[in-house]
Amino acid sequence: MACPACLGFGLRQIDLREEMMRLAEQHGVEVEIVPHSDNLMKLGGVGCLLRYQSPGDIGR
């Protein structure tokens, strides 16, 4: 696969969902598979709950 910026061929295609699962497992992150959700599918089928608020959300 060619890089759109430099046209080099050092890129490989990956399945992002599989890579996220691999990284979660590697870091001991709990993963929960949920039933089909139209709202979740509108977001690409992936969601998360964060342990801490992001700086932009504090005070909301």
Residue 50 located in a structural domain: yes
Residue 1 located in a structural domain: no
Residue 26 located in a structural domain: yes
Q: Could you tell me the residue range of the domain that residue 22 belongs to?
A: 16-54
Half-sphere exposure of residue 36: CA atoms within 13 angstroms, side-chain side: 1
**For residue 2, which phi and psi values (nearest 5 degrees)?**
-85, 140
Q: Cα dist. 46→5, 6, 34, 60 in Å?
A: 27, 30, 10, 24
pLDDT tens, position by position, 32-50: 888 888 988 988 888 887 7
Write the CB contacts of 42 (distance below 8 Å, at least 6 apart in sequence). Answer: none
Residue 5 located in a structural domain: no
Token pair listed for 24: 């979660």
What is the number of structural domains in the chain? 1
pLDDT tens, position by position, 17-26: 899 999 999 9
